[in-house]
Each structure stands twice: as C-alpha cells, then as structure tokens.
C-alpha cells in the first residue's frame, strides 16, 4: 500500500474542504472497500480524510413517513435496529445477509453506497484492460472468466456486476440519497448508480468533495411486507449470484396487488429495478402461474457473455420465489 | 538516586559501543511535567534502565549492533552488544514515584511529572532539546511516521507509525502482540478479528491511526491473572481447533457473537460466525463451544434477573 496523509475531519465543511482542496484526497469511513482496494493497488489516494468522527451523522430515525439513516450509521446498527428488523424486513435482511458481522460493524451506510465492483479484472492491476480502472484500456472480462458478471445494463465497455445488497432494497423502495455540497441536494437511489455505457469509470453523479450525509426511505405498505432473497455460492458471507428485494401491498381483498416492488442484485451493473414485473402484476390477483410468467419479464434485454448466461433464468426464478414467499403462495 | 523502573534491569555491565547507533531523543514540556521520547534501536523491556536523580534523567540501554569484522580472512557481520548512555538535565525536579515508562518497538516513552515547587537552574548540554508542547497537536497531516497512541488491552502503546500501517500490522510488528493472526489481509478470513470499543472488527482493514484513542482488545487481553477466559476454556473443552491459526479470531468473534445476542440457535451461531473461516473444518466443534457458552450466559442472566 502506498503511503498517504491521514487526517480526521472535525466538521462536514472541514471534510469537504480537505478533499476539495487536495487532488487525490478521498474520504475514509469504515475503510472496508477503500483499504482493500488500496492493498490491491486499484485505489491510490494521496490523502485520506477520516470522516468517522464527524458528530451527528450516525443516527437512525424511524418516523411515521420515512426511515432516515445517517451516512455514518454502521451496517450492523441498521441490520439490528429493532424497528427496522421488525417492520421493514427487506432493509434489515439486505443488511445482515451482506458481508460478515465484523465488516458490518465497520462499514458505514454512506460507504456502502460507494462500494465498488468485485470484478477480478478491475481488482487486479496486472490485467491492463479495465475501462473502469483505466478508461480506454478495454475490458478483459468480455472474453475472460465472467461467470460472476452482469447480464443486465452492460455495454461493450464494461460488464462488471454491482456487488451490493442494501442498495437493491433502496432502489426497490424509492429511497433518496442526501448529499452535502455547495448546495445540499437529494438524489433518488435509482439515479445514484450510473450505467457503465462508454464511461464505466464514472459510477455516481457526485463530484469530489461532495459528501453523502444520509439516506431516507419512504414508508409504504410494500416496505412493511417485504423480503430480500439472496442466492449465492455458499450459505453466508458471500456476494449474490442473484438476489431480489421485493414488497407487496394488497387491496382490501388480500389477493389483488395494489403496489408491488421488485429490484434485483448480482445480475446487473447497477441495482436493477424490474418495473416490467411490477406493471404486469399491479392490479391483478397473485397466484403462482401469474408470478412465474411475470417474473420472466425481469430479465428483458439481458445479454449472456458465455459463462454468466445461467443468471438470466436464475434471476427470474429468484424474483418468482421472493414474490411467492411474501405473497403467501407455497 | 532512584532507579524507578525496576522492571528493566540491566543484565550485566557491558562495554560502551565505539560507534554507537544514535539515540534520537525528543523532550516536550507538558502541563504535568515532561514527556520524553527516545528512539533506541533494538531496545526492549529487558535492556533499558532509567535513572532519575532530582532533575537529571539518565537512560542506559543495552543494544545490539551489526559490525563488519574480519574472521579467517572473510568479512562477516557479527552482532556486538554494547551500552548507550544519555543523560538529560531538566528545569524541574522529577517526582520519580509518579514517573511512568513504556518501550514499544524501540521507542522509549517516559512520562516525568515534576515535583511541585521546584525550579532549578537549567544547564543545556549537548543532549536533547527542550520544546513546548503545541496547544493542540494536529493529527498526523504529513505522510511521514508519527507517534500513534494505541490503547491495547488497557495499556498504552505509543507507536511510531506511517499512515498506511494497519491496526493488524501495528499489533504484530510494532506492539509485538502476535496473538492476532494475519490470514488473507483483505477482509475475507476473519483471523485478524479484534474488539474496538467492544465491537468485533477486522484489524487488517482498519488503519492504526483510525484506532487511536479507541479501546482495542486482542486475544492477549482475555485471560486475567493467568486464568483463561471462559470462551478459551470452552474451545479447549470442545476441541474447537486443529492447527489453531484461526482460533484467536474465532474466539474474539465468538465472545462478541454472544454479547450481540446472535447465538440463540445453531443456525444463528453459524450465520454470525460466518466471517471466520477455518481451513481445518472444525466448525461443528466451534458451534458446540459457542452454544455452551451462550447457554451459560443465558442461565447466568436468568439467575441474576
């Protein structure tokens, strides 16, 4: 790991100033992604501004209309929060099914949103071709070992999978990301993650010096009846091969769908909202044939790159199983 | 004259080194007295003696140094033992009964409280320079090494570290606490698990500087007065290890797992211990040890509530 200057920010303006005024400076929170990528030689900051001691950014509030989580709340604080785990299952499940408790004790919510892909070609600079790491250098994964890579949202320049779980739930339930810059602004979670297109090195619509200060998830009937299903190569402590955050609110008859949410992880270049599935099921009574047929729409436009072709059918099945679980269909 | 650090006896009289390595010394005046940091190459707790006499502080360090010598017409390197002696005269007399010392990775740190009501003539010698402590010491802003004050198992460890040194490397290579293990060094195996402020974390993905001012507990901090922690005993009883390399991390994780309330069932234990890999595959016995201790904790709480 190359050496760097370390400092602790004492206020949000202090932190923003420290990174904006120093080329190569980066924020440091839990460090679980940053230090890992610095050891790989992918991240080479010249200065790290430690923001974990900033006061007042680690709160979790569950009000009548929304859940608000400070950017410095730890993943374990969210996963183990009594109200969140009781009332908003997809938020808690997508947290505790990610990483390990040690990592969840370190990683912050803001840092979690900035988590970077696990693409092995991105993580290993001995491969020259990686448009995300070195724009214009090519993509080694297109013709490489790509069983874990994305089938949705890919381009000729990058097929790296978005690895996270929590953001999948955020996208399903219309969360907002609050960012502090010269003027504070809020970005819908769905827009916080950019498609790779021809510039995969750009991953988020925020500039150096801008700081995530919190997220807000509106409370809905679908969020109360929600679930995060994660399918992976081992039972625990593993990234998703395919996952789904789903939620359903029924009409008074208890059968007809009033509001349905579906987003997928592990199969796309960003947390992937499956609006076609939602549109196909909204207003209809839920049963297994309907769910299975609608779930096939989840992978509209999917492209196989060889070894990852199995993810297309797997994603459909994961969506169907998750919907049947919360829909009460055995 | 008071030889106040009796834990650091000089082993034997040894000759002064002709070409002694330099002993870098920095003395800072504090509210209470003085803080003296001496960079003593090759020093450890066994080979330094500090003698306080009024306002004079003398450091005697037995050090080893490599010297090229001719042996049977071949030039070889031999380790030579010698003694470094530095003496300092301070503006106040020192209260040796309250003085403290620590030696970590060659840095001797002396806390020297002044005896109230004394003020003596300062005689600046060639030895260390006096400087006033800055009002608020900024966190290491440069990229060079700085003293990082770590609190490990209740003891202070002032370590001279670069920013890039992880807590894991600080524990093993600088504080010489080898119980915490380095497995993958990239957050995938859990061998480096320690507690920071009561929470289990991975020391390989934590910078030592991030841990400054926090309470760090390692496997070495579990036993009290030579008696193993109950979880250590449980691992032995259940044969919950084979090669033992992952064991310190497993035990630190297991204690936290129960404290968090994540050991209510075998499924829970397996899920919340999943961040600690065991290549020998002793998982069944690890689960048994955690299950037993979780039950013991539950019944103890039942009795007291």
Q: What is the ipTM of this complex?
A: 0.96
Which pLDDT value is given to residue B299? 74
Of B210, B253, B275, the CB nearest to A50: B210
Judge: A32–B202 Cβ closer than 8 Å, yes or no: yes
Mutate to test the interface with A, among B141, B193, B205 (most CBs of A within 10 A): B205
Of B201, B260, B274, the CB nearest to A236: B274
Average pLDDT over residues B177-200: 98
List the single residue in A with minimal CA-CA distance to B276.
A100
User: Is A262 within 8 Å of A319 (Cβ atoms)?
Assistant: yes
The residue-averaged pLDDT of B159-168 equals 97
Least confident of A43-57, A59-73, B288-302: B288-302
The neighbour count for residue B81, using CB atoms within 10 Å, is 15
Dump pLDDT digits (tens) for B248-287. 999 999 999 999 999 999 999 999 999 999 999 999 999 9
A253 touches chain B (CB under 8 A): no
Task: DSSP for A222-278, please give it.
Answer: HHHSEEEEEE-SSSSSS--SEEEEEEEEE-TTSSBEEEEEEEEESSBSS-EE-HHHH
Q: What is the dihedral of CA B244, B246, B248, B249, to 10 degrees?
A: -170
**% of chain B at pLDDT higher than 90:** 49
Nearest Cβ partner for B162 among A3, A38, A80: A3
- Report the relative pairing of strands B146-152 and B199-202 from DSSP bridges: unpaired
Residues on chain A touching B208 (C-beta within 8 angstroms)? none
Contact criterion met (CB below 8 Å) for A28 and A70 = no
Distance between CA atoms of B38 and A139, rounded to whole angstroms? 53
A7 touching B (Cβ < 8 Å)? yes
**According to the model, what pLDDT value does residue B137 have?**
33
Q: Residue B300 has what pLDDT?
A: 74
- B174, B165 Cβ separation under 8 angstroms: yes
CB atoms under 10 Å from CB of A24, counted, come to: 13
Q: What is the mean pLDDT of residues B167-188?
A: 97
Res. B101 pLDDT band, cuts 50 70 90: confident
Say which residue, B22 or A286, is predicted with more confidence. A286
Checking if the pLDDT of A18 tops 50, the result is yes
The more confident residue out of A180 and B44 is A180
Query: Which residue in B163, B191, B206, B256 has the most chain A C-beta atoms within 10 A of its own C-beta, making it the best mutation to test that interface?
Result: B163
Q: What is the pTM of this model?
A: 0.78
Residue B119 confidence (pLDDT) above 80? no
How far apart are alpha carbons A136 and A130 in whole angstroms? 8
In this prediction, residue B112 has a pLDDT band, given cuts at 50, 70 and 90, of confident
Q: How far is A82 from chain B (nearest CA, A)?
A: 13
- Asked if pLDDT for residue B293 goes beyond 90, the answer is yes
Radius of gyration of chain A (CA): 20
Indicate the pLDDT class of residue A208, thresholds 50, 70 and 90.
confident
| Top-confidence residue, A207 or A61 | A61
For A223, A293, A322, the CA distances from A288, given in Å and listed in that order, are: 21, 8, 12
In angstroms, the separation between the Cα of residue B199 and the nearest Cα of chain A is 7
- Binned at pLDDT 50, 70 and 90, residue B6 comes out as very low
Quote the pLDDT of residue B57: 78
Please give the average per-residue pLDDT across B108-121, as a whole number.
Answer: 72
pLDDT digits (tens, 9 = 90+) for A104-121: 999 999 999 999 999 999
- Dist. CA A157–CA A267, nearest whole Å: 17
Given a cut of 60, is residue A61 above it in pLDDT? Answer: yes
Q: Which of B139, B185, B202 sits opposite A39 (nearest CB)?
A: B185
Which residues of chain B does A235 touch, with a Cβ-Cβ cutoff of 8 Å? Answer: 270, 274
Q: What is the pLDDT of residue B61?
A: 73
Confidence of residue B305 (pLDDT cuts 50, 70, 90): very low
Give the pLDDT of residue B70.
53
- pLDDT per residue as tens digits for the range A146-194: 999 999 999 999 999 999 999 999 999 999 999 998 888 999 999 999 9
The residue whose two tokens read 């504090």 is: B30
pLDDT score for B140? 40
pLDDT digits (tens, 9 = 90+) for A245-278: 999 999 999 999 999 999 999 999 999 999 999 9
- Which A residues, 87 through 146, put their C-beta within 8 Å of a C-beta on chain B? 96, 99-103, 105-106
The residues with which B29 forms a beta bridge, in sequence order, are B34, B132
Residues of B in contact with A31 (CB under 8 A): 205-207, 210
Give the DSSP H/E element, type plus range, for residue A310. Answer: helix A310-327
């Amino acid at each position: 790991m190359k050496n760097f200057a370390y400092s602790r920010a004492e206020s949000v303006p202090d932190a923003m100033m420290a990174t904006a005024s120093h080329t190569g400076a980066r924020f440091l929170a839990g460090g679980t992604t940053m230090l890992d990528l610095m050891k790989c030689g992918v991240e080479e900051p010249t200065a790290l501004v430690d923001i974990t001691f900033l006061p007042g950014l680690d709160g979790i509030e569950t009000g009548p209309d929304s859940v608000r989580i400070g950017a410095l709340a730890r993943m374990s604080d969210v996963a183990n929060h009594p109200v969140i785990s009781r009332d908003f299952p997809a938020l808690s499940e997508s947290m505790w099914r990610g990483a390990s408790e040690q990592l969840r004790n370190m990683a912050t919510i803001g840092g979690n949103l900035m988590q970077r892909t696990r693409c092995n070609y991105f993580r290993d600079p001995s491969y020259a071709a990686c448009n995300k790491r070195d724009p214009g250098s090519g993509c080694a994964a297109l013709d490489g070992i790509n069983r874990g890579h994305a089938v949705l949202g890919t381009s000729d320049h990058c097929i790296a999978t978005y690895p996270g779980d929590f953001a999948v739930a955020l996208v399903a339930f219309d969360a907002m990301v609050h960012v502090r810059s010269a003027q504070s602004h809020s970005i819908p979670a769905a827009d916080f993650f950019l498609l790779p297109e021809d510039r995969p090195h750009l991953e988020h619509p925020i500039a150096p010096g801008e700081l995530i200060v919190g997220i807000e998830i509106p409370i809905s009937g679908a969020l109360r009846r929600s679930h995060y299903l994660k399918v992976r190569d081992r039972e625990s402590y593993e990234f998703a091969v395919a996952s789904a955050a789903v939620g359903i609110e029924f009409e008074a008859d208890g059968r007809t769908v009033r509001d349905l949410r579906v987003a997928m992880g592990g199969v796309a270049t960003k947390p992937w909202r499956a609006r076609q599935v939602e549109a196909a099921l909204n207003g209809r009574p839920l049963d297994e044939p309907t769910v299975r047929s609608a779930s096939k729409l989840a992978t509209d436009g999917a492209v196989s790159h060889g070894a990852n072709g199995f993810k297309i059918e797997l994603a459909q099945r994961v969506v169907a199983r998750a919907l049947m679980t919360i829909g009460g269909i055995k | 004259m008071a030889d106040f650090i009796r834990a650091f006896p000089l082993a034997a009289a040894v000759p002064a080194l002709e070409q002694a390595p330099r002993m870098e010394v920095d003395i800072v005046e504090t509210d209470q007295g003085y803080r003296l940091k001496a960079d003593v190459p090759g020093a450890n707790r066994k080979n330094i003696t500090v003698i306080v006499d009024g306002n004079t502080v003398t450091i005697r360090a037995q050090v080893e140094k490599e010297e090229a010598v001719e042996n049977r017409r071949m030039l070889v390197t031999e380790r030579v033992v010698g003694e470094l002696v530095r003496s300092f005269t301070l503006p106040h007399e020192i209260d040796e009964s309250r003085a403290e010392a620590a030696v970590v990775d060659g840095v001797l740190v002396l806390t020297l409280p002044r005896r109230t009501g004394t003020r003596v003539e300062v005689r600046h010698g060639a030895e260390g320079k006096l400087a006033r402590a800055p009002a608020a010491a900024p966190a290491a802003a440069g990229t060079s090494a700085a003293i990082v004050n770590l609190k490990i198992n209740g003891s202070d460890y002032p370590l001279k570290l670069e920013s890039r040194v992880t807590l894991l490397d600080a524990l093993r290579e600088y504080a010489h606490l080898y119980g915490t293990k380095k497995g993958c060094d990239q957050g995938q195996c859990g061998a480096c698990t320690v507690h920071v402020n009561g929470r289990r974390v991975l020391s390989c993905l934590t910078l030592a500087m991030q841990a400054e001012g926090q309470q760090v507990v390692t496997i070495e901090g579990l036993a009290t007065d030579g008696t193993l922690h109950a979880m250590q005993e449980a691992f032995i009883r259940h044969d919950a290890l084979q090669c033992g390399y992952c064991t310190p991390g497993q035990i630190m994780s297991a204690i936290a797992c129960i404290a968090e309330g994540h050991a209510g069932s075998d499924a829970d234990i397996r899920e919340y211990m999943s961040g600690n890999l065991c290549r020998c595959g002793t998982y069944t016995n690890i689960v048994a040890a955690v299950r037993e201790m979780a039950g013991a904790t539950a019944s103890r709480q039942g009795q007291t509530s």
